[in-house]
Structure 1
């Protein structure tokens, strides 16, 4: 049956389109995509192609495993994304200080191990020059971010002093944040603390420049807000009362997903779970601040694992699989009413994928946020939900796939042949057009207010360009586009599709 018209509340997109492409995946001669020239060239491509939105993964610092969803801080920026050429333009680096370095990466992959070893020494040179004569903007930045920046800088300095070990392995006075121990550490590691603060200033100075460039060219940025934070993060270390921890500050239970058609043992994420009762007592202040800050960094927020606010899956600490977990009740609309009361309506997309129940559907409806549809799921016989395009409401965002899915050509290569045959018949795909173009066309032709495709799909790439395979370690988050991939010819072809399906930005 056809989807009925639904009145829309909250964020409303105006029948537009966008591309999912993380900053790390941009071309660069220095090992990883950054906020420099290649990022602006990609904005130019999006504008020429009639795209309104550029969607990113989280831009926070990554830790073990290199996942942007396991970060040392929910507020900080990733130092790897700082562009070295821009630092040289600002007089903070000399070209020979970084262009002579062997970054040991191929053009289509990120080598995170080498970045860990070689990037920070270069940034220390830039920070030293910045701090020798800091601009007034540096003091303003530190004052405006004093609710997270001092703790973050101290946390990172202490991690360095402890050989990178998790804060749960530090000596008890520091682990438990004894005031005298913290004050002693601030004095002992003052230079390192200053470095980590300077790095954040450099990051957000460049970020503001890139975002302004995008907005000036009619491109808005969708950013990702992971529902959980990493166990080894300043967020947990500085606010243990907000999490379900035992007397030794260890998680009582951890986050994950139950077994389903995609995984017989489920997904074991390992993140500590929030103490929602404790958070409710202060009006969810931590969450209000988090959404406030990230809403100022991005134009639109995509909240990851939205179903976890209705009910979340809790797995006993020490479990080797997610099979033994249980569902617990989340904060529901109580949290989002507090956010709305404090901040007003924010532009938010709800990632309502996974095991959906009536309470999740009710929460989505009450929030007014648009949910997500994934075209690959529509034809996957393991998927219990309904993602077929003829069932969409207008008030949703359709994706060909997300960072956790195969690129379209990879899906056609690896999916069950019966599922592929179903997609080919339903969408009337042809080899002449290219199956991946036909599937993108289906997203653009749908009634969904916003359609987002992966950059890998525009480039016709396959399994080799997959960004992340959930529940696996190694080889994830590494894909990069080759220089010159986003051509004027590709922009013209994409722009024509936007004309055909009425998705050109309203200003055109």
Structure 2
């Protein structure tokens, strides 16, 4: 076949377009294009397959890649023509057909049957458009100025066939000798009317007078307006927070079926949850933290309904189990340790009693085979963790280093640990079955699931053990100081070795996305800023304030000297402590503190004694012995530095300004002129010099990941957001998060009416207080919000009344944002009868507290919530009236 390509693309002087064609689904072959005139680029390709996958690239005069299409074109060419003229359009990621062509829409058409396209030899043109229509009664049609396309008359427009999901085509015979205009529209099959014609200028195409060539107008995307784009509303709630009669003191996967029923009644179409991966490290309440998974693949056993396993609980144990179940279900919060202990007691008994049958189960063996890449290391890790009473593999007596061959022997039936590893594998199989059952049920009701992807991995996880080369184990990840914490956050996760991951095309991430896509239709990427840069701390730091951005363009000695700063590493990079600072900090106890923790230098300054000279050593010393002096004050002195040292691979020291440098006592003890110079360097470091670098790093990683999944991707972009972040998210069509009280602009609160389509709007998050709590945090802010945002006169009421909660919800619903998703607590706050009497019981997490006990439970049972007909109808009315059904 001979393929002739033509695309209109505006280039700069010295730039050119190249066509890349995927050959044998493996390698890309380049074809040079030439520019005829006015930026019309053309080229021809000899091709021998019925389907083609290709993309365009922009190169500079030195053949360096400047830009390329992230989403490739795919065309079917299995018609009765030997030659095709392809009139093309650059495929931008941030058009509706790309960010709407996801699993959510595929679920709405799970019984989709492609329509056949009739292409005959007499046809001259094939029109192709991508338009995922979420209403089943909507169809795409084409009409134009020529008679064959209806002469701009709606009733004579030509219907297209949906030949694949969201892809519409029609072949027509056009007897025309000149260029002509046309447009696409949406036809409602129920009302038998054209309800929308795409906005913008008319499309123009040329005649085709060669009956041997089929002209393919690959128009690519349908131009929607905001009113015709898909809008939805949803509820956010951690699975562990769900309450039901059948659960065991904690929300379980099967409870999602009840939540889906309630969502159906209220016309909510998205259920958003927190991470559900296994976090079982120490068998204490600290394992309740859902962002510290010991496996990025394995599911958490707390979500398993143990009395719904493939095998029943023994009758002799059933009464005691049900009694404890009843007791736990009455608890206000999740009792993590008791709940987990009893669940595992049951699991072990059921497994041991039925092991001989389980080992022969063909479905289980199939699951084991399909997931062996992650399941075998995970099951072995669990056995070794329990055997040595720690997840810290560095302290194990055997298998400190992961060797695949040695671990594989544990799955030999003759191995002493065979039964134990198989038990952990079987639990994952049972979790998979129950989660799949819940999700299939939700999908049957038209409800989609949105998961949560943690940015980090736990330091003592399966991945850190089995693939240590992928991680920076000598560092810790966290976040700089923000409204949640003046000292920043230290998550204690290792950082990523992105260069190693890049070498194989980020295969580790792609596998992770593939497993998540089994269950979820949409995915929230936690702290998406981590794909641009991460906040990195040395291993001996405990507070986030001692971190720096990585990667980043650091400050060098040469730069400091060029600014006339007489740089001394001890003065600028080590804690600055003198008599005045110690007395100011400790008052009457200053002398005792000095004698215990400090040594006097010859220059009259103090330094920490070797056993206390890092934050980690200080914290460890306080664990061993209780002192009268405040640990926080000593940690603050350990952080009284101006720069953080980074040693590069070639052994050179470079420097990163400490966050909030100007607030340190060290900074206050500098001459004024030096403070001015350092402030200039600080501002340049944090707000100017890094943006291009971070844009480049994000564009290296994110396109490869996004093209590997059909999930709708949302990014949690809160915190100190660089200018490059919204640019990248817009280019890649990643929806951003807008939390009203956490604006990225320098304003007190965000007005949701300003949210554009590619956003998720919400009133609060799992990391924030609820609206009712927030109302009490700052009365001056509350009053301002009451008058300016809610447009109310007078004094704000002491408590957030249900009417005002409802008003806030509606302000978010009636916006252009794609998604409006609210925590379950905010829905309940709109009804005096249903809200929790104690608002403080509804807080999920306090980021400034680490570790935090994640144990919030709904105070209402899902079964009871479903019977609240008036309340549910109220929510349904909001959703329908705001166009989000």
Compute the TM-score of the two structures, normalised by the length of structure 1.
Answer: 0.89
Unaligned runs of 5+ in 1: 1-5, 245-250
Give the CA deviation at 1:328.
1.4
Residue matched to 1:247: none
Residue matched to 1:492: 873
Give the total of aligned pairs: 486
Task: Tell me, in whole angstroms, the C-alpha distance in 2 between the residues paired with 1:412 and 1:280.
Answer: 46
Give the CA deviation at 1:311.
1.4
* SS, match of residue 845 in structure 2: coil
Query: Which deviates more, 202-211 or 490-499?
Result: 490-499
Q: Determine which structure has the larger helix proportion and give its number.
A: 1
Residue matched to 2:629: none
Task: Tell me, in whole angstroms, the C-alpha distance in 2 between the residues paired with 1:362 and 1:307.
Answer: 12
* SS, match of residue 127 in structure 1: helix
* SS, match of residue 486 in structure 2: coil
Task: Tell me, in whole angstroms, the C-alpha distance in 2 between the residues paired with 1:121 and 1:493.
Answer: 44
1:99 is aligned to 2:293: no
Q: Tell whether the 8 Å contact from 1:25 to 1:32 is kept in structure 2 after alignment.
A: yes
Q: Tell whether the 8 Å contact from 2:480 to 2:547 is kept in structure 1 after alignment.
A: yes
Task: Tell me, in whole angstroms, the C-alpha distance in 2 between the residues paired with 1:98 and 1:72.
Answer: 28
Q: Tell whether the 8 Å contact from 1:24 to 1:33 is kept in structure 2 after alignment.
A: yes
* SS, match of residue 297 in structure 1: coil
Residue matched to 1:44: 261
Give the CA deviation at 1:435.
2.6
Task: Tell me, in whole angstroms, the C-alpha distance in 1 between the residues paired with 2:547 and 2:853.
Answer: 26
Spell out the pairing of 1:277-288 with structure 2 (5 A cutoff). Answer: 277-288=499-510
- 1:419 is aligned, of 781, 789, 796, to 781
- 2:538 is aligned, of 316, 331, 334, to 316
Q: Tell whether the 8 Å contact from 1:397 to 1:449 is kept in structure 2 after alignment.
A: yes
* SS, match of residue 764 in structure 2: coil
Render the CA deviation track for 1:407-459: whole Å, top value 9, x for unaligned. Answer: 1111112x211221222121236866533222111111122111001001111
1:62 is aligned to 2:279: yes
- 2:352 is aligned, of 122, 128, 133, to 128
Q: Tell whether the 8 Å contact from 2:279 to 2:290 is kept in structure 1 after alignment.
A: yes
Residue matched to 2:823: 454
- 1:166 is aligned, of 392, 397, 403, to 392
Render the CA deviation track for 1:291-319: whole Å, top value 9, x for unaligned. Answer: 11112221111111001111111111120
Residue matched to 1:472: 849
Query: Which deviates more, 467-476 or 438-447?
Result: 467-476
Task: Provide the alpha-carbon RMSD of the alignment.
Answer: 2.5
Give the CA deviation at 1:490.
2.1
Higher RCO, Cα 8 Å, sep 6+:
1
1:307 is aligned to 2:532: no
Spell out the pairing of 1:134-145 with structure 2 (5 A cutoff). Answer: 134=358, 135-145=361-371
* SS, match of residue 273 in structure 1: strand
1:441 is aligned to 2:441: no
Residue matched to 2:308: 86
Give the CA deviation at 1:474.
6.1
Render the CA deviation track for 1:139-188: whole Å, top value 9, x for unaligned. Answer: 111111111000000000100101134223223x5121246764665533
* SS, match of residue 321 in structure 2: helix
* SS, match of residue 133 in structure 1: helix
1:265 is aligned to 2:482: no
Task: Tell me, in whole angstroms, the C-alpha distance in 2 between the residues paired with 1:140 and 1:81.
Answer: 22
| 1:35 to 1:69, Cα distance in 2 relative to 1, 3 A | same
Task: Tell me, in whole angstroms, the C-alpha distance in 1 between the residues paired with 2:300 and 2:758.
Answer: 33
Q: Determine which structure has the larger strand proportion and give its number.
A: 2
Residue matched to 1:35: 253
| 1:93 to 1:222, Cα distance in 2 relative to 1, 3 A | farther
Task: Tell me, in whole angstroms, the C-alpha distance in 1 between the residues paired with 2:243 and 2:483.
Answer: 36
- 2:241 is aligned, of 25, 28, 43, to 25
Q: Tell whether the 8 Å contact from 2:514 to 2:709 is kept in structure 1 after alignment.
A: no
Q: Tell whether the 8 Å contact from 2:738 to 2:761 is kept in structure 1 after alignment.
A: yes
Q: Tell whether the 8 Å contact from 2:234 to 2:822 is kept in structure 1 after alignment.
A: yes
Give the CA deviation at 1:503.
1.3
| 1:81 to 1:275, Cα distance in 2 relative to 1, 3 A | same
Task: Tell me, in whole angstroms, the C-alpha distance in 2 between the residues paired with 1:459 and 1:158.
Answer: 44
| 1:374 to 1:290, Cα distance in 2 relative to 1, 3 A | same
* SS, match of residue 131 in structure 1: helix
| 1:371 to 1:59, Cα distance in 2 relative to 1, 3 A | same
Q: Tell whether the 8 Å contact from 1:74 to 1:229 is kept in structure 2 after alignment.
A: yes
| 1:438 to 1:144, Cα distance in 2 relative to 1, 3 A | same
Task: Tell me, in whole angstroms, the C-alpha distance in 2 between the residues paired with 1:165 and 1:287.
Answer: 23
| 1:129 to 1:406, Cα distance in 2 relative to 1, 3 A | same
Q: Tell whether the 8 Å contact from 1:73 to 1:234 is kept in structure 2 after alignment.
A: yes
Task: Tell me, in whole angstroms, the C-alpha distance in 2 between the residues paired with 1:336 and 1:130.
Answer: 45
Unaligned runs of 5+ in 2: 1-93, 101-228, 281-285, 552-693, 830-835
Point out the structure with max Rg over C-alpha.
Answer: 2
Q: Tell whether the 8 Å contact from 1:92 to 1:130 is kept in structure 2 after alignment.
A: no
Compute the TM-score of the two structures, normalised by the length of structure 2.
Answer: 0.52
1:114 is aligned to 2:338: yes
Q: Tell whether the 8 Å contact from 1:82 to 1:206 is kept in structure 2 after alignment.
A: yes
Query: Which deviates more, 233-242 or 38-47?
Result: 38-47
Q: Tell whether the 8 Å contact from 1:54 to 1:219 is kept in structure 2 after alignment.
A: yes
